[in-house]
Amino acid sequence: MTNKFRLFAGSANPALAELVANQLRAPLSPRVIERFPDGEASVRIEESVRGCEVFIIQPTAPPVDERVMELLIFADACRRAAAARITAIVPYFGYARQDRRRGQRAPVTASMVAQLMQVVGINQVMSVDIHADQLEGFFQVPMDALTATPALCEALQPDLPPGAVVVSPDVGRVGMATEYARRLKSSVVVLHKHRESGSRTTVTHVVGDVAGRPCLIIDDMISTGGTIRRAIEALLGAGARPEITIAATHGVFVAGAREALSHPSVRGVYVTDSIPVNTEGWERLRVVSVAPLLAEAIERIREDGSLSGLR
């Protein structure tokens, strides 16, 4: 790596940033992140970035607002220090779910966050398995949406029981489920659900045959675990074998999620390290790293290469 390259870790996931740095055989650049007594974030860059290509790794993991604000401050510091180019690597883009108005007096928060990122001088954004594809349209700068599906499928392959069917938890994840099925040489079942609130859904139909078959439920993220729990119950009610595997890119796992996923039929839960995950006491949880994916993307960006093979 040349001296024109700088890689920084935000406070949201320094362990992932360290793994990416190791993959690139490059050190993380020094920075100081502090908070004033009232909670205000303060970022200080402790190495020159003048004329450098800067990459900042900062998923917007909970607490989401703090992580977003820290990223904006970080980027502003780099811009004011005359960085040539700033790429924000946001493995988990928390506001992607708020991608459209659901009422006459509602915001499109994903669009607002995208605008803020551009205002502070971010020249490119990279994320992994974004919740809504239209997020890319909110940016006037390049927004690259990578996928962790190949890495998760590689980890799943030796552990899935024979004949497992891939289950999409809703219509929106059919494309992702189809890619899982292609890689795992399986078929796809789709659950139709009705959303009652921001945290409550009900499965209304199981489209496809699951009778006597083990299931792999996939999703881009698991937050409360409620949707997955109701999917498990619907699949078992449709005659699926009590051998359920769960795979999701982002393990947000808010309070109560672990309990929701502790169903006796669940054989394993697979997530990536896009967000720090506490594995203590959770033997069924497997964490797959996205560090090789992010490192490869960074190398390609630096060489003006194509990212199409990583999408």
In 3D, which of 194, 195, 236 has the Cα closest to residue 214? 236
What is the three-state SS of 222-256? Answer: ECCCHHHHHHHHHHHHCCCCCCEEEEEEEECCCCC
Query: Interior CA angle at 130 toward 124 and 133, to 5°?
Result: 85
Non-local (6+) Cβ contacts of 279 within 8 A are 285, 287
Catalytic residue (choose from 193, 230, 250, 286):
193
Residues in the chain: 311
Active site residue 185: no
Cα 182 to chain center, whole Å? 21
Q: Tell me which residues are annotated as active site.
A: 193
